[in-house]
Structure formats: C-alpha cells, structure tokens
Amino acid sequence: MKVAELLIKCLEHEGVEYIFGVPGEENIDVMDALHDSTIQFIVTRHETSAAFMAGTYGKLTGKPGVCLATLGPGATNLLTGVANANMDLCPIVAITAQAGLGRQHKISHQHYDMVSVYDEVTKWNTQIKTPDIVPEVVRKALQVATQEKTGATHIELPEDVAGMEVDSSPLNIVPHHLSEADEPVINEAAKMIDQAKYPLILVGNGVTRGEASEELRSLVKIANLPVVHTFMGKGAVAWTDEHSLLTAGIGGNDYIACGFGESDLIIAIGFDMAEYSPKSWNPKGKTPILHIDTQEAEIDACYPVQLNVVGNIKENIKNVKKALTAKERDITWVSQVRNKAFSELASFKDDMEFPVKPQKIISDLRSVLEEDSIVISDVGAHKMWMARMYHCYQPNTCLISNGLASMGVAVPSAIAAKLVHPERQVVAVCGDGSFQMTSAELETAKRLNLPIVILLWRDEGYGLIEWHQLKAFDRSSHIKFGNPDFEQLAMSYGFEALKVDKTEELKSIIEKALSLNKPVLIDCPVDYRENMKLTEKLGNIIC
C-alpha cells in the first residue's frame, strides 16, 4: 500500500471520526486514500476554520481533532487555528503536505520549512521522511496531543513520500494513566484548607478536561468553599449553586474580584495562567496558592505556590476531600456577591431600549436555552459580556477561547459542536467583525445540514478595540467598517435569516430560530455604549 493509505489506516485505528480541511495538489494521495475510508472528511472553506473545528472537537470529546492542509499557504493558514487549540489546551493533530524531498534543499515553489514554523505552536511535530516510520509518527502524534496538558501536534508529509510503497501496520494504543499525589501531600493540602479562614477556589479549564466537575462540586459542598470560575472553567460548579461566585477575568474591580482580596488562601484547581493572569487577582503576590493540577505551577511572582498537588485532578480532589476536617465557614458574603450579580442581570430583563443592550441579549438567551445547550462565544466585546454574565449549569456549555483568543472561532466551532452533539442546541455568538472572518463556513454548515444558530451582535466596528481606545485615550481610531446585508448574505448560503427590529422581539426570535431545526442567522443590533458604562461601574465598586 501507499504511505498515504497507511497514514489513513493508522488514523482509523486511532478512532478518528473526522478530518477537517482543504485538499491540495500535494496531498492528492491522502485525499484518494480517504475516498473509501471510515473517516469522514469535512471540506471547509478555509484552513483556519478547519483547525478551529478540530480544536473544538478535541475539547468536547477529549480525543484529538484532526485537520489537514496542503503545503505553503495551506499550512500557514492552518497555523492560526492550531496555535489557538494549543494555547487553549485542546487536543489536535494537524497534517500538512510538503514539497518532495528532492526539492527541499533549495528555493522551491510554495516551500517553507513548516516543521520549524510549527515548532512554537505545538507540543511536538515532525516530517515523515521514510515510509516505515508512519505508524510510530501517528501513534506519537495522538499520544502527545492527549497527554496532560493536552494540545497540538503536527505531521508533515512530503508529496513524494506519500506515494511510496510500504508494508506496515498501526501500533497498539496505550491509554494514559495519571498518578495520584502522595498521601503526605494530600494531608498537607487538607491542612492548608482547614487552617485557612477565608479560602477561595479558582477553577480553570483543567477540571473540565479531567472530567472532575462532580468531584469538585462534592468538595465544595462538604468543605463549604466559595468558587470562582475562569472564562474557560465555566460550569464546573453550576451557577445556581450557593457556593458559586460565577466568573472572573474581565478586569477591573468587579464584584467577583472582590473575593480575591478577602481570601487568605487561593486553591487553584486545573488553572492555567493563559486563562487569567495572576497579576490581575493577586497583584502583590501576598495571598498563598494551593495548586492542584496535572503539572507543577508556572513560576510567577504573583502566583506564590505553597504546595503543588500534582497528578490526576479527579482523584486528588477526592483524596483531599477525605482528608479534610469537617468545619463550619461563614460564607454569607458569597450570597451578597451573587445577589448583586444576579440583580444586575435581572435589571435588564425588561429593558426595551433599542439597539439592544448586551445585558438584555444575554438575559433573553439564557432564559431560552436548555441547561445542556452549547454556546460558543467568538472574540470581541461580546466575549467580555458573555464571560461576565452568561452563566452555566454544566461544563463545556459556554466555550470561550481565552488563550490565543483568535477572532473567527465561533462559527467553525459551532459546526464541530453540532457534529459532536447533534442532540443539543448549539448557538454561535459573534460580533460582525469576527463573523466576517469565517462567514464562508455558513456554506459548510448548510452542506452538512447542521441546525446551528448564529446570534450576530452588530455594531459596525471592532467594539472591543474601541472600548480599550476609549478607556486609554477617551477617543477611538480606525475601528469602523461597513457591512453587507446580513439577511441577504445568510439566505444566499441557504440559511434562514431573522432580524431584530425591536428589542421586545428578541426572545421570541431566538425561540423561533431554535425551533426551526435548520441553520439560522439572527441579525441583532447591539448598543455598545454599555461598554464604557460598565468600565465606570467597575471603577466605582467598593469591596
């Protein structure tokens, strides 16, 4: 068989369901091998979108998402999505074509050394130089991608090697097993929590990856511990739980951030610094950290670790809970913070000013969606509002890219989410700036007949950048742009298109979009004058 056929057989053996990508001249052998494969190839309209889809598939399943591109511009287009997945700790394997071995030593058409280019944005990457190494390369790529902390790997396949003959077979799959922390470490962690007067949990992305949400909820209940979520930790503890201090990370002296100032021990569980810089919540580095994660903590002056509890997060949480001494804690302040946050959201429930305020959009969206519905926020001003005010019952039900935080992620991610969970409602929340970066994938969603809903917040500009400009200079610069008729654009792709002309229509329009069971775009004008009002509000909060 050809090397390309063996590559596909190895991926089939690994349980790969989908490959997202764009075919090219230099990977025609791979595309031909996929013709009769059990793997479904999802043709995307841009390579970056393919990597976004693969990353979201990896995040939701825990299995590596696989994406493919040709050499040169295909590989460089794929790069942003791969980097995004790697920084968000999503398992992903990128496969790119390359020029034949006989022309890699000189300047050649579309040739760059992509192994060097990908080195900074992957955990591991290599080129297949000889046919016999294919099984080893594929096995290692998927193994490394799924090892904690999960992330991206990259395989480069030269066009001439892809067509070579080979006689080999896939390697056995060895599952991962994370060890548990030693008993003395567990006992020391429990002692730190017992002795703290105002301990506070900061929960990150790792709790969801480690499927440790139920164990965390049990610990929180038994020990009576308040919990703050990062953007990517949302839903680890349900927002309805009295211990939940909701989400922090927007910056400023928010209600939730006040809890950090009162705490004498921060228990960081599954937390990654790319999610929320410690300088924002422990600026002087005075509050000690109990770090519970799969790896020891990154060194940071504002993250003064007193103890690393390293290994299987789920099992270590269980063991810490067993070692704790039953203790009553007064956390009435938690309910006070929760009441302030909830009253703020509730105050916009009946706000009918137009254009629609961000708080009203979120209030109506949350009231309509089911507990297990999946919302994917793109990057922009809407992301900050969604992170702060869209509350979750379950993990992985509000996906926010907060590592690389690449614009354009929501529509491709919604496609992947619907492939993984066809039984759930899936909504992509986009700004008009981010939407236009990957809007061609509407054709992909329609071709696959995926009933996703795109809720478009329209303000005719880069709202988040304007927000920062106004805070820094009290004026904005070069952030406005023109838009197409989004209704006509959506319909041209075969989407149903709905437009919000009055605020009182919004909730019923969202309900209608979800009931149609077809791809739908909702064009909703947004009033981003609320951005600076929030900045002023955060500046006046007194802890």
Whether 340 has a pLDDT exceeding 90, the answer reads: no
Q: Looking at 336, 360, 378, which one is the last position of a domain?
A: 336
Rg of the chain over Cα atoms, rounded to whole angstroms, equals 24
14 and 121 housed in the same domain:
yes
Q: Residue 205: inside a domain, yes or no?
A: yes
pLDDT reading at 542 higher than 70: no
Question: In the predicted model, what is the mean pLDDT of residues 15-39?
Answer: 96
Query: What is the mean pLDDT of the segment spanning 204-233?
Result: 95
Looking at the fold, whether 237 and 321 belong to one and the same domain comes out as yes
Same domain, 147 and 283: no
What does the alpha-carbon distance between residue 36 and residue 340 come to, in Å, rounded to a whole number? 58
**Number of compact structural domains in the chain:** 3
Point out the domain boundary residue: 310, 336, 362: 336
Q: pLDDT at position 335, please?
A: 86
pLDDT for 252: 62
- Could you tell me if 149 and 206 lie in one domain? no
Mean of the per-residue pLDDT values of the chain: 94
Q: Are residues 329 and 407 in the same domain?
A: no
State pLDDT tens for residues 135-163.
999 999 999 999 999 999 999 999 999 99
Gap between the terminal Cα atoms of the chain: 68
Both 408 and 475 in one domain: the answer is yes
For residue 242, the domain's CATH number is 3.40.50.1220
187 shares a domain with 152: no
Question: What is the separation of C-alpha 251 from the centre of its chain, rounded to a whole number of angstroms?
Answer: 19
Whether 328 and 399 share a structural domain: no
Over 60: is that where the pLDDT of 383 sits?
A: yes
Instruction: Kindly tell me if the per-residue pLDDT of 543 is higher than 60.
Output: no
Position 174 in a domain: no
Domain termination residue (choose one: 336, 355, 376): 336
Residue 173 lies in a domain: no
Residues 213 and 301 in one domain: yes
Q: What is the CATH number of the domain that holds 531?
A: 3.40.50.970
CA distance 469 to 326: 50
- Span of 9-23, 96-110, 174-188, 446-460 with lowest mean pLDDT: 96-110
* 203 and 271 together in one domain: yes
Instruction: Answer whether residue 247 shows pLDDT above 70.
Output: yes
Q: Reduced to 3 states, what is the DSSP secondary structure of residue 471?
A: helix
Burial class of residue 100 (count of CB atoms within 10 Å of its CB; 0-12, 13-18, 19+): middle
Q: For residues 495-514, give the mean pLDDT.
A: 98
Residue 169 inside a domain? The answer is no
Tell whether 400 and 482 lie within a shared domain: yes
Residue 327 has pLDDT above 80, yes or no: no
Domain contains 310: yes
SS (H, E, C) 322-347: HHCCCCCCCCHHHHHHHHHHHHHHHC
Q: Is residue 177 part of a domain?
A: no
311 lies in some domain? yes
Choose between 415 and 106: higher pLDDT.
Answer: 415
Say if 107 falls within a structural domain.
yes
Mean pLDDT of 3-29: 97
The reported pTM is 0.95
Cβ-count burial 438-447 (b if 16+ within 10 Å, e if not): bbebbbbbbe
Q: Where in the sequence is the domain holding 312, given as residue range(s)?
A: 183-336
Are 400 and 317 contained in the same domain?
no
